[in-house]
Amino acid sequence: MSKSKLIIFSVALFLSIASLGWAQIVTFSVDMSVQEAEFAFDPETDQVRVRGSFDWDNGFIMEDAENDLIYMVEADLSAVENGTVEYKFLFITEAGDAVWESVDNRTFDHDGSSQTLPTVYFDNDEEINPTAPFRLFLGVDMSIQEVTGNFNPGAGDFVGIRGSLAEFGSWSDTQICSPIPGQDGFYRAEIEIGSYALGSSCEFKFVKELSDGTVAWESVSNRPITLTGEDMQNFDGEYYQYLYEPEDENCVYFDCLTPNDFIVQDVTVTYQVDISSAITWLTDNPDSCLPDVQSPDPLFWICSPEDVTSVYINGSFVPWWGWGTIPTDYNMTVDPNNSDLYSWVTTYQAGHPKRFEYKFGLNSYDNESTVGGNHQAILDDSHSTQSIEDCFGSIREDIVDWPECDWITAIEEQEVAASDFQLFQNSPNPFNPSTTISYRIDVRSPVALTIYNAAGQVVRTLDQGVQEPAKIHQAVWDGTANNGSKSASGIYFYQLKTDTRVEARKMILLK
C-alpha cells in the first residue's frame, strides 16, 4: 500500500471511529401492557411512536423486540441542542388515528451523551382497568301497560330509556326503544358504547313519553348494569354484545309491574291526613320555618300555624304535578269537626297499578319530607273501597323531628260484609288460556254467566242451569267466544245473573 493511500485510509478510519464516539443515542421505552389489557391498544395493528421537541411531526417508530409489550427505540439525537427535551408517546391505530398520552409532556436533560431513559407505562397507567366497546340490548315488556290502557303506541306513545351514561341520555334525553317483530308488546333499545370500563356499573330506567307530552318514569329503583369479563365472550368482531336480563324476573315488565300488579275492578280510595304534627311543631318552634325542599326561596316557607291555608296531595297517580302548581282538584277538604284533619277521595279505574306513591304538601309546597321521601301504598281490589290514613310527616323525619299525631297512623281497608250472594274474582287473573270463576248464590235459581268485551258486546254465555244456594259453584272460561273463535287480549267483564240478583266483575285476558 502506498504511503498516500495509507494516510487516506487512516483518516477515514479515524473519522468513522470518532463519529461513533460522538453519536448521541437516547433509548426510549414504554410499557403498553396495561393499554393492551384495557383493550385500548392492539399490538397486531397499532404502531407505537415517540415524538418530541426533537420532531413533533414524525418522531421515531418503536418496536417490541422481546414480545413483552415493552416498546423501545434507540434514537440518534446528535442534532439536538443540549438542554431540556420534551417528548410523549403515542400510537397510530389501524384507522390512522393518533392516540396521544394525556399526561403532561415528559422531559429529560440532554447533555450530549448517550443515555437510556427509564421504562414508563403509557399515560402513566399502571393499573389494569380494562375497557371495551359494547352494544347493549335493553328490553322491556309493555304488554301489561297496553292491555290496561296505560300505554298506547297507536296514539303516539313511545317507550325509551334514560340513564347515567351519555349514551343513555344522561337522565335528561330519551333513547327510544323499538318494537321487536314477532314479540307483541316487547320493546328494545340498542345502545352502542365505544369504551366502557369492565367491572364498573351504570344505571338506567325505562320511561314512557305519552302523546300528551307527559313523561312517566318507572317508580322502581334505578336498574343497574355491571359489565364484567364474563360478558367478553360475546364478541362480534367490533362490539361485545350485552343482553340486559334483570335479576328479578318480574322486572322484564315496565316498572316491574306484572299482570298481578294491576287492579281488575274500580277502587274508590279515601285519603285522610292529620296535620296536627305540623301545627304542633310550628307552635313549639316560633323562631323556625318549615321549608319547601324544592326551593330555597323563603317566600314558600311556612313559619306559623296561621300560614297554613291548605293541604294538597300529589303522587304518581297524577302523575306528579310540579309542587306549588298543583291544580285545585288535588286540594284536600278540611273536616268540619276537626280543623287538623283533611281528606280527599278518588276512584282508581281497573287497570291502575296496585302499587303507587304519594305525598302531602302544606299550601301545595313540598314540605312533608325531603325530595323522594314519599308514602307507599298498595291498592286492594278485593273490595271496591279503601281508606288510607296518615300523619303528616310520618314518612321520614328528614325536615324536622315531627311530633306524633292525635291518632295512630295506619292504612286500613273498609270491611265489606259478605252476603250469601257473592261473585268472586276469577283465578288466575290475568289469565291465559283459561280462568275459573267462583260464585255463591242466595236462593235456588237458574244461573247464567255472561262474558262481555270492553265495548259491552256479548262474547260468551255460560248457562249453568238451576243451582242450589249455600255452596261455592265454579265455571271455567277458556277464552273462546260463542262462535268458537279465540278472544283477543284485553279487559273483559263477567256477569253473574240469577232470578233475584245481578253482579259483575272485570278480568284480563293476556296472549
CB atoms closer than 10 angstroms to residue 114: 15
**Domain covering 131-260, topology:** Immunoglobulin-like (2.60.40)
Among 162, 169, 171, CA closest to 140? 162
CA distance linking residue 135 with residue 323, whole number of Å: 39
Q: What is the DSSP string of 61-95?
A: E-B-TTSSSEEEEEEE-TTSPSEEEEEEEEEE-TT
- Each domain of the chain, given as residue ranges in start order, spans 3-124, 131-260, 267-412, 422-509
Fold agreement (267-412, 422-509): yes
Q: List the grid coordinates of 217.
A: 318514569
**Residue of 406 and 434 predicted with greater confidence:** 434
Asked if pLDDT for residue 392 goes beyond 80, the answer is yes
Asked if pLDDT for residue 414 goes beyond 50, the answer is no
Q: List the grid coordinates of 359.
A: 305525598
Asked if pLDDT for residue 398 goes beyond 70, the answer is no
The band of 231, judged by pLDDT with boundaries at 50, 70 and 90, is low
This prediction has a pTM of 0.44
Place of cell 335493553: 138
pLDDT tens by residue, 304-335: 999 999 999 998 776 677 888 888 899 999 99
For residue 338, what are the contacts with CB-CB under 8 A and spacing of at least 6?
Answer: none
Right CATH for 3-124 from 3.30.110.40, 2.40.50.140, 2.60.40.10, 3.40.1160.10: 2.60.40.10
CA distance linking residue 219 with residue 119, whole number of Å: 53
CA distance linking residue 304 with residue 292, whole number of Å: 14
CA distance linking residue 362 with residue 379, whole number of Å: 25
Do residues 348 and 230 make contact, with C-beta atoms less than 8 angstroms apart?
no
CATH number, domain 267-412 = 2.60.40.10
Query: Is 422-509 a CATH 2.60.40.4070 domain?
Result: yes
